[in-house]
């Protein structure tokens, strides 16, 4: 048992970053990190989820759901900020867990992050293909349904557009983090401008009656029947309902997807110029900016169109269509295509760094951790994950799997929040560029808030998550445990002493 909980010291983690064959270039500033955070957060949440959760879960109170989700993420961000400034090493929650909880918990978190980031990138790329095909249609270019729709949906066979996006983003990540950050900055500027346009222009079409009732009366709907019922309502014997405060809470668990990715900022720790200062700014700054934008957009869109009439595919564009402004709908589609592009870019960036860190520790094949001699990027992990995500996006129906991304992220947040308290007690001597306030209160609130959101996810999501974790345990037992660099080094020391 003690082998499974053997920790990797913070000092060893930092020394590993200096090995010539594993050294990443430190090219990112605090502004770069904030832009990365905004780039990955503003995407599916604004352009897709707003209509779905307003219509099916929360009604006009969807803005409250967005703010509550931001509060949960904010608590976790304070914990991530301390960890990432103390252990500025690629891998985010995986690396933090290795330093505090031990090897097996770290493996579980790393396996969990693969679920969050790789599946998240695939899901978002599918959403991107829908907006891209609609935009092409507006320009007079109609593409066959067989190559633009998800497999098995509306005649889709293989999603060529999604595959093309993932491969293009993979190529961009290969040529260097600085190039990627510059492209990201340009695209983020475009989509933030579109979001501000939606807010300002939409205000002219808001109708007060669309906000009444702001929190509709709770009622049972087909969207919360069977395995789709929130786990909390099942555990406490509550008849599953939409709307009301229970609907608002259930919506939090869904719109949480909108904020997924801010923690990706922490995976770029080794590539930050001044990680102790820049990482907390990037994590917290990006979350504050996007929470304000999300709340404003959701209030505007439910004010423009009755929540029961909102579309779930392109709610912002369709809301402007409904008030007779199709030109704005086209502009929004452009913003969505730009916005979702950066989400895929940064989710893949985070995934490749986690993969890289796990390989460097020997828990995955070490040859994956090679760094390109010219570009300074983990090119093998980038290519491997790019191909895997492209295949998922192109050939696998992902609609039922999207909520797995949420539960995976929340699980990582729980571990990181608990890890802050543990590291404060086990290594109080470590220099911390940022200190989480009110420890252990803030980490405890973060854990409780994340668990509360998790139990509002559907039962079938929990079952899929447990199945994925079981596969991870088998992979660790079959490969990771036997090839762990930390375990092998410890065993060698024991044999030398004896």
pLDDT in tens, 90-141: 667 888 888 888 899 889 888 988 888 888 888 888 878 877 887 888 777 8
As a whole number of angstroms, the longest Cα–Cα distance in the chain is 82
Q: Pick the more confident residue, 382 or 23.
A: 382
pLDDT band at 437 (very low <50, low <70, confident <90, very high): very high
Close Cβ partners of 96 (under 8 Å, ≥ 6 residues apart)? 83, 84, 87, 415, 416, 419, 423
Q: How many CB atoms lie within 10 A of CB 203?
A: 13
231 pLDDT above the threshold of 90: no
> Which CATH code is given to the segment(s) 10-454?
1.20.1740.10
Please report which confidence band the pLDDT of residue 158 belongs to, taking 50, 70 and 90 as the band edges.
Answer: confident
Name the range with the highest mean pLDDT among 224-238, 267-281, 353-367: 353-367
Q: What is the four-CA torsion angle of 100, 102, 105, 109, rounded to 10 degrees?
A: 60
Q: What is the pTM of this model?
A: 0.81
């Amino acid at each position: 048992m003690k082998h499974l909980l053997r920790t990797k010291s913070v000092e060893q983690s930092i020394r590993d970053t200096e090995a010539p064959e594993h050294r990443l270039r430190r090219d990112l500033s605090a502004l770069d990190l904030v832009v990365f955070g905004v780039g990955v957060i503003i995407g599916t949440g604004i352009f897709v989820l707003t209509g779905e959760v307003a219509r099916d879960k929360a009604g006009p109170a969807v803005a409250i759901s967005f703010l509550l989700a931001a509060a949960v993420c904010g608590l976790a961000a304070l914990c991530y900020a301390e960890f990432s400034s103390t252990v500025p090493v690629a891998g985010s929650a995986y690396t933090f867990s290795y330093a505090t909880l031990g090897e097996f918990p770290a493996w579980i978190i790393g396996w969990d992050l693969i679920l969050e980031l790789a599946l998240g990138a695939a899901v978002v790329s599918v959403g991107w293909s829908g907006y891209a095909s609609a935009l092409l249609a507006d320009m007079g270019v109609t593409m066959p349904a067989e190559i633009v729709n998800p497999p098995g949906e509306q005649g889709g066979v293989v999603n060529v557009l999604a595959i093309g996006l993932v491969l293009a983003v993979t190529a961009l990540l290969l040529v260097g983090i600085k190039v990627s950050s510059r492209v990201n900055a340009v695209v983020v500027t475009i989509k933030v401008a579109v979001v501000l346009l939606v807010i300002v222009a939409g205000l002219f079409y808001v109708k007060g009656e669309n906000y009444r009732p702001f929190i509709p009366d709770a009622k049972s709907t087909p969207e919360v029947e069977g395995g789709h019922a929130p786990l909390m309502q099942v555990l406490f014997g509550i008849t599953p309902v939409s709307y009301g405060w229970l609907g608002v809470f259930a919506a939090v668990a869904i719109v949480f997807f909108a904020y997924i990715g801010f923690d990706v900022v922490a995976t770029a720790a080794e590539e930050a110029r001044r990680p102790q200062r820049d990482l907390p700014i990037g994590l917290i700054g990006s979350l504050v900016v996007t929470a304000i934008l999300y709340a404003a957009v959701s209030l505007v869109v439910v004010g423009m169109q009755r929540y029961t009439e909102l579309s779930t595919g392109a709610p912002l564009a369709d809301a402007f269509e409904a008030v007779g402004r199709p030109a704005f709908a086209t502009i929004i589609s452009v913003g969505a295509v730009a916005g979702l592009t950066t989400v895929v870019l940064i989710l893949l960036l985070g995934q490749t760094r986690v993969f890289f860190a796990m390989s460097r520790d020997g828990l995955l094949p070490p040859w994956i951790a090679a760094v390109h001699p010219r570009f300074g990027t983990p090119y093998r992990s980038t290519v491997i994950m790019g191909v895997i995500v492209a295949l998922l996006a192109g050939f696998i129906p992902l609609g039922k799997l999207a909520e797995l991304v949420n539960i995976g992220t929340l699980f990582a947040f729980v571990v990181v929040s608990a890890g802050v308290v543990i590291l404060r007690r086990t290594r109080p001597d470590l220099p911390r560029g940022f200190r989480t306030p009110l420890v252990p209160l803030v980490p405890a609130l973060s854990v409780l808030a994340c668990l509360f959101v998790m139990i509002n996810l559907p039962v079938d999501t929990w079952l899929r998550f447990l199945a994925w974790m079981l596969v991870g345990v088998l992979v660790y037992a079959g490969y990771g445990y036997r090839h762990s660099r930390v375990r092998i080094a410890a065993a060698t020391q024991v044999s030398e002493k004896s």
